[in-house]
Amino acid sequence: MVCHECDLLIGVPGLDVGQKAYCPRCNFLLAANRPHALKMVFVFAICGFGFLLLSTAFPFLGFSASGQERTVTLMQSITILVSEDLPSLAAIIFISIVLIPGAFLLGAIYVSTALKMNRLLPGTVTVLRWVLMLMPWSMAEIFLIGILVSFVKIVTLADVSFGMSFWAYVLFTVCMTVVMLYPDKRQLWNRVRSLSDE
Ligand SMILES: [Zn+2]
C-alpha cells in the first residue's frame, strides 16, 4: 500500500489482533487490527441507527422570543426549506444528514453480521463497497457543528433550547464516528476476500 502521508510504497503483512503497522519513514499509522472490531461496528451501528430514528421523532430545537415559543423537529427543519422555495437545498441536507448515514449504518450492520457469522450473505461484497463509498458523503458531524455555530448567533436573538432529538442526534454522531474510524478497511476487505475464496 501507499503511505497517505509520504507516498512511500510499503508491503504491509497480515496483522494479528492488536497489532498496528506504521510507516517506516514518517511513522504514519498505516493499518491496525483492533480487537473486537466487528463487535464494535455491529453494536455501535445498531445503537447509531436507533438514535438516528429517535432524532427524527421528537422536538429538535426550541426557540422563544418576546413571549412566543416554537419548536422544530429535524424533519420540519428540512420541510421549512421546501416551503421557503429551496427544495434542492432541502434534498441535499436530507440526503447527507439522514439518508446516507442511515444507509451507511444499515450496510455496516449487514456486513458485520455476515463477517461475525463467518460466511458471506447475499451481496456482502457489494454492500461493503457501497458502505465505504458512502462514508465520505455523510455530513452528520458537519451538520452538528453548523448547528452549534448558528446557536451562538441565534442565542443573542432568542432563547434556544435543545430538544430530545438534538441529544439523540449527538449520540448518533458519536456512534457513527466510531463505526467509521474503528475498523480497518484493509482488514475488512481481507476478511471478505478470504470468505469469498473458500
Ligand atoms: Zn509515510
Ligand 1 centroid to 123 CA: how many Å?
Answer: 35
Ligand 1 centroid to 180 CA: how many Å?
Answer: 22
**pLDDT confidence of residue 39:** 92
Ligand 1 centroid to 1 CA: how many Å?
Answer: 11
Diameter of the chain by CA atoms? 69
Which structural domains are found in the chain, ordered by start? 1-33 (no CATH), 35-197 (1.20.140)
Q: What is the pTM of this model?
A: 0.86
- pLDDT string in tens for the chain (198-residue length): 899 899 999 988 878 888 899 999 999 998 888 888 889 999 999 999 999 999 999 999 898 888 888 899 999 989 999 999 999 999 999 999 999 999 999 999 999 999 989 888 899 999 999 999 988 888 888 988 998 898 888 888 888 889 999 999 999 999 999 999 888 888 888 888 888 876
Ligand 1 centroid to 136 CA: how many Å?
Answer: 22
Ligand 1 centroid to 31 CA: how many Å?
Answer: 12
Ligand 1 centroid to 10 CA: how many Å?
Answer: 9
Ligand 1 centroid to 26 CA: how many Å?
Answer: 4
Using an 8 Å Cβ cutoff, are 46 and 65 in contact?
no
Ligand 1 centroid to 55 CA: how many Å?
Answer: 40
Ligand 1 centroid to 29 CA: how many Å?
Answer: 8
**pLDDT confidence of residue 22:** 93
Q: Which helix (H) or strand (E) holds 183?
A: none
The beta-carbon contacts of 146-153 under 8 Å, at least 24 apart in sequence, are 147/61
**pLDDT confidence of residue 44:** 96
Amino acid symbol at 122? P
Residue 71: CB atoms within 10 A of its CB come to 15
Ligand 1 centroid to 4 CA: how many Å?
Answer: 7
**pLDDT confidence of residue 198:** 66
